[in-house]
Structure 1
Amino acid sequence: MKLLITDLDNTLYDWVTFYSQSFQAMALKLSEEINIPLEQILKEYKQIHQKFGNSEKPFATLELPSVISYFGTDDKIVLQNKLFTVLGAFSAKRNETLKLYPNVKETLIKLKNNNVKIVGHTEALEFNSLYRLHKLDILKLFDHLYTLEDIHNIHPDPSSAKSIPVEKDFVVRLSKNEAKPNPKLLEHICKSESVDIKDAVYIGDSLIKDISMAKEIGMTAVWANYGRKFSPDCWNILVSITHWTEDDVKKEEQLKKAFSNVKPDYTIECFSELLDL
């Protein structure tokens, strides 16, 4: 192995669990703060998420009709200050629940010491993915990060928004049209990193979106089966606020049918098993 291309969410850390619990903590605090039923709040979140095409928009809280109505203003900076404890509930729970899967950092370090290039490939938005890699202290182990471009910046004060310092060519921004599964992008990554496809390994938790595209171009495909093990309750929270439209659901069903027979080259239950390939 000369190049490892790795998915991030539910491959390096349990995104489903940390994000659902962090979001729930924020939504419950908001429900308590403005005295609106949680069910109504979640419904409004879903509408806003669909509007912006992404469920990872913490500042979507400032766009909710119930919030604007309760405080009598749509001034985002004012609302951010009013909802300091609500937004803080998300951050507090995230600090508690965002953790690497066992042996991830140690494995990445060993691969790096063996001169393996490491590239991240995710459908998470740029800042969110950078923040998590930075927070988990593994950002410096990556050579590049391929991530979806955020075309809807809804931060109340963009000039004061946090930023994660990286080399200018570290992040490669992808359009929505380049979303997974995208075999041609994997070919491009190999070419950019000057590594033959036969010397590259792709690891991800989704058979449909990760494994299928690696297999299509003959790249070694490793299924992170451990990433599919999470609480149904956590998943149900995400479903209740999903940005997916009916068309998105139909596309996903089509992908499931098209790649129903996809099989990985390896199935692992711990990230460190990569070292045994």
Structure 2
Amino acid sequence: MRILITDLDNTLYDWVSFFARAFEAMASELVSLLGIPPQTLFDEFKAVHRAYGDSEYPFALFELPSVHRYFGTLPPEELKARLDKPLHAFNSARKRELRLYESVSSTLSKLNQKGIRIIGYTEALAVNAAFRLHKLDILKHFHRLYALEAAVPLTPVSSDRPVVPLHRSDLIELVPRVERKPNPRLLAHICALEHVDLKDAWYVGDSLSRDIIMAQSAGVTSVWAEYGTKYDPGLWSTLVKISHWTDEDIVRDSQLRQQAKSVRPDHTIQSYSELISLISN
């Protein structure tokens, strides 16, 4: 192995649990503040998320119809101040819930020491992915991060997003929104850009239908992070309520899941640290 291409969400940390809990904390405050039913709030978030093609659009809160009806037209900074309580609830829950799976940081460090380049590949927006790696203090382990471009230019209303250091200006490569998992050309493209043969690359991810199918189709050694599939189904249901997925997306996902039933990954791990023993064999 010369490079390890790793998924981020539910491979390095439990994205489902942290994001659902942070969203629920914010939603509770919004329902109380705006005086609207929870279902109305969920429906409005879903509509905004669909408009931008992402369920983690950073500024969806500021575009909700109920927020506009309640506050009218306010300058961004003033609106942010009025929404401080729900924003604080989200940020507090995120700070409490966002944490690495056991052994992730030490494993990345050991892989670096062995001369293995770590490449991140995620369908999260680049700004969100870099923020999480920065907060979790593992951005330093990554040679490059391939992450999704935003549907529109983002105009921050806060300054809590990390700035990539000048000496790491080539860290982030934006992936076009039309190129989505499980497209094997993406991994082939990454390997070409990194000047590494497919046979010298490993890919680790939690999704059989998106990560493992993609890796195997590309001819890359596949490692299924099975532990990333273990989370509270109730939290997943929260995310479904605000999902940006269209009916076509749901049909496509169902077809991929059906196809994945016959998939056999090259390796299956229950802890990220197992990667060390796998590459030593």
Aligned counterparts of 1:268 and 1:194: Cα–Cα separation in 2: 27
Question: What amino acid does structure 1 have at the position aligned with 2:17?
Answer: T
Runs of 5+ consecutive residues of structure 2 not aligned to the other structure: none
- SS of residue in 1 equivalent to 2:273: helix
| Distance change in 2, residues 1:175/1:203 (3 Å) | same
Which residue is 1:22 aligned to? 22
- SS of residue in 1 equivalent to 2:196: coil
Q: Percent identity?
A: 47
Which residue is 2:184 aligned to? 183
- SS of residue in 2 equivalent to 1:85: helix
Aligned counterparts of 1:90 and 1:104: Cα–Cα separation in 2: 25
Query: Does 2:87 correspond to 1:84?
Result: no
Question: What amino acid does structure 1 have at the position aligned with 2:221?
Answer: T
Aligned 8 A contact 1:80 1:156 in 2: no
Which residue is 2:161 aligned to? 162
Which residue is 2:234 aligned to? 233
User: Shift of residue 79 of structure 1?
Assistant: 1.6
Which residue is 1:151 aligned to? 151
Aligned 8 A contact 1:76 1:156 in 2: no
Computed over aligned residues only, the root mean square deviation of the Cα atoms, in angstroms, reads 1.6
Aligned counterparts of 1:62 and 1:118: Cα–Cα separation in 2: 36
Aligned counterparts of 2:175 and 2:156: Cα–Cα separation in 1: 24
Q: How does 1:90-129 map to 2 (within 5 A)?
A: 90-129=90-129
Aligned counterparts of 2:257 and 2:237: Cα–Cα separation in 1: 20
User: Shift of residue 152 of structure 1?
Assistant: 2.3
Aligned 8 A contact 1:134 1:164 in 2: no
- SS of residue in 2 equivalent to 1:18: helix
Runs of 5+ consecutive residues of structure 1 not aligned to the other structure: none
Aligned 8 A contact 1:58 1:87 in 2: no
Aligned counterparts of 1:43 and 1:7: Cα–Cα separation in 2: 29
Question: What amino acid does structure 1 have at the position aligned with 2:84?
Answer: F
- SS of residue in 1 equivalent to 2:59: helix
Alignment TM-score, normalising by the size of structure 1: 0.95
- SS of residue in 1 equivalent to 2:23: helix
Question: What amino acid does structure 2 have at the position aligned with 1:164?
Answer: V
- SS of residue in 2 equivalent to 1:275: helix
Aligned counterparts of 1:161 and 1:172: Cα–Cα separation in 2: 21
Which residue is 1:242 aligned to? 243
Number of equivalences: 276
- SS of residue in 2 equivalent to 1:178: coil
User: Shift of residue 189 of structure 1?
Assistant: 1.7
Aligned 8 A contact 1:60 1:154 in 2: no
- SS of residue in 2 equivalent to 1:202: strand
User: Shift of residue 12 of structure 1?
Assistant: 0.1
- SS of residue in 2 equivalent to 1:31: helix
Q: Deviations over 1:28-68 (max 9, x none)?
A: 01111121122211111111111111110242111111111
User: Shift of residue 82 of structure 1?
Assistant: 0.6
Question: What amino acid does structure 2 have at the position aligned with 1:275?
Answer: I
Q: Deviations over 1:63-114 (max 9, x none)?
A: 1111111112254333211101111111000000000000000000000000
Question: What amino acid does structure 2 have at the position aligned with 1:72?
Answer: G
Q: Deviations over 1:138-196 (max 9, x none)?
A: 001000000000122454648x6734224222111011111111211211222222222
Aligned counterparts of 1:147 and 1:226: Cα–Cα separation in 2: 23
